[in-house]
Chains A and B, each alone.
Chain A
Amino acid sequence: GAGVSQSPRYKVAKRGQDVALRCDPISGHVSLFWYQQALGQGPEFLTYFQNEAQLDKSGLPSDRFFAERPEGSVSTLKIQRTQQEDSAVYLCASSGGSRPLNEQFFGPGTRLTVL
């Protein structure tokens, strides 16, 4: 594909429901990142994959958040037992890993609203 794609673009969940957000990175990109952007804030790092390996998950806010990238391509961010504070835009970015600049290309995001 031409860019990073994410689905769904919008998700409304009732508090307590589980949600799964999908990211399709740019073809061939080794690195994949998830960020959470609350309204009026900058993106906050959640987790990072290099191929299928999750190298950093220090930004995941709680054990309700789980991410995977089993085949080193598509990634899924899962949020269990959603809470109102989880309402945000979830951004996925991918990078080809070329030095010196590992430019991260962002997808359009998934806007999650928890009622």
Chain B
Amino acid sequence: QKEVEQNSGPLSVPEGAIASLNCTYSDRGSQSFFWYRQYSGKSPELIMFIYSNGDKEDGRFTAQLNKASQYVSLLIRDSQPSDSATYLCAVSLGGGADGLTFGKGTHLIIQP
């Protein structure tokens, strides 16, 4: 059974600091990895995706993937209060053309 594990938090980080969000997954066949941000009462929106081992940077966001350890992380640099949200880790066996398996999400709070 596919499982995705995240610490539910809340994770509290001071404004301007680096927020580090972690995720582990159980299915070694997983090929694609996604980070979604979900504000309270809203739908998830994609902020990062990664397929290959290593780091991928996009603006203030860096996704890190270690397939050997079955570990995915998201770093948010220069955290802003608007980054306060729930961050959902999701994995796919294909390239996202199949149903995603989500973790429960980590609630991130950026303290001004």
Interface centre among B4, B6, B96 (most CB of A within 10 A): B96
Chain A residue with Cβ nearest B6 = A42
Measured CB to CB, the nearest residue on chain A to B96 is A102
Q: Find residues 56-110 in chain B having any chain A CB closer than 8 Å to their own CB.
A: 88, 90, 94-105
A-side contacts of B17, CB under 8 Å: none
Chain B interface secondary structure, helix, strand, loop or mixed?
loop
Instruction: Decide if A48 touches B49 in the complex (CB within 8 Å).
Output: no
Q: Which residues of B contact A45 (CB under 8 A)?
A: 99-101
Interface residues of A in 81-110 (CB under 8 A from B): 91, 95, 97, 99-109
| Interface contact tally, CB-CB below 8 A | 64
A48 vs chain B, min Cβ distance (A): 5
- CB–CB B49/A101 < 8 A: yes
Chain B positions within 8 Å of A42 at CB level: 4, 6, 88, 90, 102-105
Main SS of the interface on chain A?
Answer: loop
Task: State A58–B45 Cα separation when bound (angstroms).
Answer: 24
Q: How far is the CA of A42 from the CA of B105 in the complex (A)?
A: 6
Judge whether B99 and A100 touch: CB under 8 Å: no
Cα A45 to Cα B101 in complex, Å, equals 7
New contact pairs (5) apart from A101-B32, A106-B44, CB-CB < 8 Å: A42-B88, A42-B90, A56-B99, A91-B43, A100-B51
Using CB atoms and an 8 Å cutoff, list the residues of chain A in contact with chain B.
31, 33, 35, 40-48, 56, 58-59, 91, 95, 97, 99-109
What are 10 A-B contacts with C-beta separation under 8 Å? Answer: A41-B105, A42-B6, A42-B104, A43-B44, A43-B100, A45-B101, A95-B96, A99-B95, A102-B97, A106-B44
